[in-house]
Structure formats: structure tokens, C-alpha cells
């Protein structure tokens, strides 16, 4: 009778204990079985007795099942998944919502209104490029005209667009995105920039949007910026009384323009100051945050330390990946400007780089439309 009472007490205490591992739980069950049977093995044989199977003990199977149900099963937390969730939560909370509100209002506008705004902006940019060219004494059309020469230059641009189009298409392919994970950040920045405008646009309207983005961009980059810088360098050499090779002003102007385009890609792709400050502050306070907030009611100081280390690893990986994406986007933008600029200088007609730029941009627009707001409609 005393042995049974002692066994039940031991069983209850074992049932409401919190084991730290599966081995400790099995030891608790085995000791409970020995207490129920009135057996108290000496300390010298306790280690050997722990290795015996539970099925060989005298504890009934029903009581074993009851103990297994009562004993809490503690699942190890996924520190890195939790760290990634916290990082996304921090980034989603950045900003005052004004930009999201403007994008939402623009996305809900009728397609005709959005195209009118886009064409108005394109006209203003093209007008500014023409004004710069007029001040510098440069042809605003970059040598293009209604002639067979321009048609031949356009054909040359179409042939020159083939490698550029193939390269752009390869960057959107699944193998490239698996090998270069930072491409997702670049494509996401592109999709976020055009998502509000491309919403509710059909195919022809998207082509109009494509032309309104590419044509003013080429006009402002090549005749206005590159041509204007080259003209300024030529005037400087004449005023200084020095003779420079004929190709040098154009080459230097093209390199300067490509650098400006690369800086623009950096500003477009890199994280904002607010995002960097939020992540940096969270990194500095990671230990204190997880120590105070904890990981749960059963968490330990070791859990808090591991969670903080996981968050540091995830955050630093995110920062490093963004830096790689920014460098790649800047280099890609600069090389594209150089490619188009050389094509313009060699043909002497803006139709060649214009056709090549339209072909390259069409690849990006096609993929953004396929995976963007009009994916289901198309």
C-alpha cells in the first residue's frame, strides 16, 4: 500500500515536471516505474538500470501513455526563420505610408488618365533635352531624320539589340536567379517602380508606356548629356589653345554620362536611409531585445543568445546582398549607356541606339507585366 501511494506521488511529480530532453523524460518514466513496483535500485546500479527498455518495466502501458501526454513536448525554435520574420516586419514598418498612398491612388486611376500623365512627363523631359541641345548647338534628334539613312541606322540598331535583348532575357531566367540571388532585388525594384502605372493597362497601352519611358531617356542621355559634355570639352580645348584627338571629347563625355547613369541606378536600387537606420538600430539592440522579450515562456538565456546571433546573421546577409545588387545594377546601367553611346557615335544617327534601347526595355516590361499587376488578366 505504501509502495503504491509512493508510486502515484512519484508518477504525479514526474508528469508535471519539465524535462529538458528526451533522455531525461525516459529516466523519469523509468524511476516512476521502479517506485510503483517498490524497487529502489542503489546509486551504483542506477546508470545501468537507466539503459533498460521501458517495455520491460512493470508500469502499465496505459499509465505510460498518460505520462507521455502530460509531459510537455518542447519544440526547438527556428531561430533563422524567426529572425527573417522580424527583419521583414521592421522593413515593412519603415515610412509614414505617404508613398504607399500615392501609389495606391495612381494604381486605381483609369488607364487613359495614367497614359496622359506619362505622355505629359515624357514631353517635358524631351523638351528639356531639346532645350539643352539648342543651347549647345547640337541637333536635338541626334542625326535622325525622315530618310533612308535613318532606316538603315534603325536596322543596324535592331541587329545590335539582339545581344542586349538576349542578355536581358538571361537575367530574368530561373537559372540566373538561382545562381545570382541578388537579381531578385533588382527585379523587385523595377517592378515596384512600374507597378502603379502598369496596372489596368492592356498590350497597346503598355507599348505606349514603353515608348514614353525609353524615348525621353535616350534623348536626355545621348544628345543632351553626352553631346552637351562633348561640346563643352571641345570648347574648353579651343579656349585653352590645346588640340585633343577628335574621339577624346566624345569618349570622355560618354564615360561621364555612364557614370551618372550608374549613380542613378544606385539611388534606385539601394535601401533607403530609414531602412538602414532601422536595421542598424535593431542590430545594436539585438541582445537586449531578445533578452527582454524572450522566445517564449520556456525560453532560456541560451535561446535569447542564439536568437540574437541568428538575427545578426540574417540582417548582415540582407545588407551584403543589397550591396551586391546595387553594384551589379550600377555596372549594368553604365555598360548599357556605353553600349548605346558607342552605337550612336559609330552610326551618327540616334535611330540606332533608340531601337536597341527599345528592344532591351521591352524585355524588362514583358517580364514585369507577366509577373506584375496584369499577370492574371494576361
Distance between CA atoms of residues 326 and 312, nearest Å: 21
State the average pLDDT for the chain: 80
Residue 260 pLDDT exceeds 80: yes
- DSSP state letters, 102-123: HHHHHHTS-HHHHHHHHHHHHH
Confidence band, pLDDT 50/70/90 cuts, at residue 207: very high
Residue of higher predicted confidence among 38 and 123 = 123
pLDDT mean over 38-49: 42
Radius of gyration of the chain (CA): 34
- DSSP state letters, 157-185: HHHHHHHHHHHHHHHTSHHHHHH-TTHHH
What pLDDT digit, counting tens, does each position of 317-368 carry?
999 989 999 999 999 999 999 999 999 999 999 999 999 999 999 999 999 9
What is the per-residue pLDDT for 61? Answer: 52
Distance between CA atoms of residues 362 and 158, nearest Å: 13
What is the per-residue pLDDT for 345? Answer: 93
Residue 69 pLDDT exceeds 60: no
What is the per-residue pLDDT for 20? Answer: 43
Residue 247 pLDDT exceeds 80: yes
What is the per-residue pLDDT for 79? Answer: 82
Residue 64 pLDDT exceeds 60: no
What is the per-residue pLDDT for 49? Answer: 41
Report angle CA 208, 210, 212 to the nearest 5 degrees.
70
What is the per-residue pLDDT for 335? Answer: 95
Distance between CA atoms of residues 193 and 378, nearest Å: 20
Query: How many C-alpha atoms does 55 have within 13 Å on its Cβ side?
Result: 0
Nearest to 265 by CA among 198, 358, 193, 328: 328
CB 325 within 8 A of CB 210: no
What is the per-residue pLDDT for 60? Answer: 53
Residue 209 pLDDT exceeds 70: yes
Range in 72-81, 92-101, 260-269 with the lowest mean pLDDT: 72-81
What is the per-residue pLDDT for 181? Answer: 87
Amino acid at each position: 500500500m505504501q509502495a503504491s501511494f509512493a508510486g502515484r506521488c512519484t508518477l504525479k511529480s514526474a508528469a508535471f515536471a519539465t524535462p529538458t530532453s528526451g533522455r531525461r523524460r525516459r529516466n523519469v518514466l523509468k524511476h516512476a516505474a521502479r517506485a510503483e513496483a517498490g524497487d529502489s535500485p542503489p546509486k551504483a546500479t542506477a546508470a545501468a538500470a537507466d539503459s533498460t527498455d521501458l517495455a520491460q518495466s512493470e508500469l502499465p502501458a496505459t499509465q505510460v501513455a498518460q505520462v507521455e501526454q502530460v509531459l510537455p513536448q518542447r519544440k526547438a525554435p527556428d531561430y533563422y526563420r524567426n529572425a527573417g520574420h522580424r527583419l521583414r516586419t521592421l522593413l515593412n514598418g519603415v515610412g509614414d505610408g505617404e508613398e504607399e498612398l500615392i501609389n495606391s491612388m495612381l494604381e486605381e486611376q483609369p488607364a487613359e488618365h495614367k497614359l496622359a500623365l506619362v505622355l505629359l512627363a515624357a514631353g517635358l523631359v524631351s523638351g528639356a533635352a531639346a532645350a539643352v541641345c539648342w543651347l549647345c548647338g547640337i541637333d536635338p534628334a541626334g542625326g535622325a531624320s525622315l530618310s533612308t539613312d535613318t532606316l538603315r541606322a534603325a536596322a543596324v540598331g535592331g541587329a545590335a539589340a539582339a545581344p542586349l535583348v538576349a542578355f536581358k532575357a538571361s537575367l530574368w531566367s530561373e537559372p540566373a536567379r538561382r545562381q545570382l540571388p541578388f537579381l531578385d532585388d533588382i527585379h523587385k525594384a523595377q517592378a515596384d517602380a512600374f507597378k502603379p502605372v502598369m496596372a489596368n493597362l492592356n498590350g497597346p497601352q503598355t507599348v505606349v508606356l514603353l515608348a514614353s519611358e525609353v524615348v525621353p531617356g535616350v534623348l536626355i542621355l545621348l544628345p543632351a548629356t553626352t553631346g552637351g559634355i562633348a561640346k563643352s570639352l571641345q570648347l574648353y580645348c579651343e579656349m585653352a589653345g590645346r588640340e585633343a584627338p577628335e574621339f577624346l571629347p566624345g569618349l570622355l563625355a560618354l564615360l561621364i554620362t555612364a557614370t551618372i547613369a550608374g549613380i542613378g541606378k544606385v539611388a534606385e536600387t539601394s535601401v533607403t536611409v530609414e531602412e538602414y537606420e532601422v536595421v542598424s538600430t535593431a542590430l545594436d539592440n539585438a541582445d537586449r531585445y531578445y533578452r527582454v522579450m524572450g522566445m517564449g515562456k520556456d525560453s532560456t538565456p541560451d535561446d535569447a543568445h542564439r536568437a540574437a546571433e541568428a538575427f545578426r546573421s540574417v540582417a548582415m546577409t540582407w545588407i551584403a546582398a543589397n550591396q551586391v545588387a546595387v553594384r551589379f545594377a550600377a555596372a549594368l546601367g553604365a555598360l548599357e549607356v556605353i553600349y548605346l553611346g558607342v552605337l550612336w557615335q559609330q552610326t551618327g544617327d540616334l535611330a540606332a541606339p533608340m531601337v536597341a534601347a527599345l528592344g532591351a526595355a521591352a524585355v524588362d516590361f514583358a517580364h514585369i507585366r507577366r509577373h506584375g499587376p496584369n499577370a492574371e488578366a494576361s
